[in-house]
Structure 1
Amino acid sequence: MIELQPFNEGDFSKLIAEIHDARFLLQWAGPKYTYPLDAPQLRDSLANTNGEKPSFKVFKVIRSDTTETVGHIQLMDIDYDAASCILGRVLIFQNYRGNGSGKAMVKEAVKIAFEDLHLAEINLGVFDFNTPAIGVYKSIGFTEFQFKKGARQFQNESWNVIRMKLNKDKWLHMNNANNGIE
């Protein structure tokens, strides 16, 4: 249904078009980017994808049947010695939401982290009001390990963050059980 391909400068305009205001940018990307999102900020992220052991893997999400770009996802702060990373900047473009693409792309990013990069744990942060994303993460096997009240401020709002993690052993166990291998 979907596949992850390397994100590049040719993909900037489509991603930027999805970021309609400062609140949404903060919700999606955290404080690293400032509104309005632009090419120089995205180039800075892509600079982390270079080298033999890059600290970032940045992907566009493609529908396999149409080759349309339908989203964006990143593996960030990849620590090869600690065998961990952060899953973040997960976005299904507005016109493609509600059809399972979000879950499919997270599953594919997790597979890349565990199988291709040989990592042992993935962490993420999600705002507690983003219940669809929390449901996707839990369905894949992520579990909550920390709740940070008032972790982010936006204008007069205070946002709570749920930290979640998934380790490779649990992921393998879930995949084997789902495939009837157990």
Structure 2
Amino acid sequence: MTLEPFSPSHVRYLIDWIDSAKLNYLWGGPAFEYPLTREAILTHTAKPEVSAFLLNDQDAPAGYIELVEQSSVCARVSRVFVAEPYRGKGTARQMMQALFEIAKGRSYLQLDLCVFVCNTKAINCYQTLGFSEVKREQGVREFEGECWELIYMSKPL
């Protein structure tokens, strides 16, 4: 599996994968309205600080991930998504490890991320990859009347 830069031809995969308002919020937080649109995705991925990638498995789309520059030495891992047929097979781990190499190549010294407390599979994956919790935030993210607690995590490279 390889990461390749996200392109306009890949937009359809995200639109197909993100098939509910809840999944949209779990994946993108408040940054995207549901349903996703081509314009919203292209506007977001065109931001200079956003490096978006598609994970390919022999030309089959397997996932999506972003590296968002925070400073010259720190980037945030964002919007990690693994396509349904690839879940539970270590795909997220492979995608993250490939992203680590890209981040090191860009001379980042630290990676940060945020994850909702309810996303326990993602939290476990991030912990096994060396991310540690640095803080929790309650009451700032809400979906359909429920407050979703955020965990902030960090990893030195």
Which TM bucket (shorter chain)? over 0.9
Higher relative contact order (CA 8 A, sep 6+): 2
Q: Distance in 1 between matches of 2:8 and 2:24?
A: 19
Residue identity over aligned pairs, in percent, reads 29
Q: Distance in 2 between matches of 1:30 and 1:46?
A: 15
Q: Residue in 2 aligned with 1:60? A: 54
Alignment counterpart, residue 127 of structure 1, candidates 116, 134, 144: 116
Q: Distance in 1 between matches of 2:91 and 2:74?
A: 24
Runs (4+) of structure 1 moved beyond 3 Å? none
Amino acid in structure 1 at the alignment position of 2:127: K
Unpaired stretches in structure 2, ≥5 consecutive residues: none
Q: Residue in 1 aligned with 2:130? A: 141
User: Which structure: larger Rg?
Assistant: 1
Q: Residue in 2 aligned with 1:34? A: 33
Amino acid in structure 1 at the alignment position of 2:116: F
Alignment counterpart, residue 82 of structure 2, candidates 92, 112, 118: 92
Q: CA deviation at 1:17?
A: 0.4
Aligned length: 157
Contact 1:55 1:79 in 2 (8 A): no
1:63-82 to 2 correspondences below 5 Å: 63=57, 66-80=58-72
Q: Quick check: 143-152 or 85-94, which moved more? A: 143-152
Amino acid in structure 2 at the alignment position of 1:56: V
Q: Does 1:16 align with 2:6?
A: no
Q: Distance in 2 between matches of 1:62 and 1:153?
A: 33
Q: Residue in 2 aligned with 1:160? A: 149
Q: Distance in 1 between matches of 2:6 and 2:16?
A: 15
Give the TM-score taking structure 2 as reference length: 0.95
Q: Deviations over 1:123-170 (max 9, x none)?
A: 1000111111011101110000001123310112111110000012xx
Alignment counterpart, residue 102 of structure 1, candidates 72, 92, 100: 92
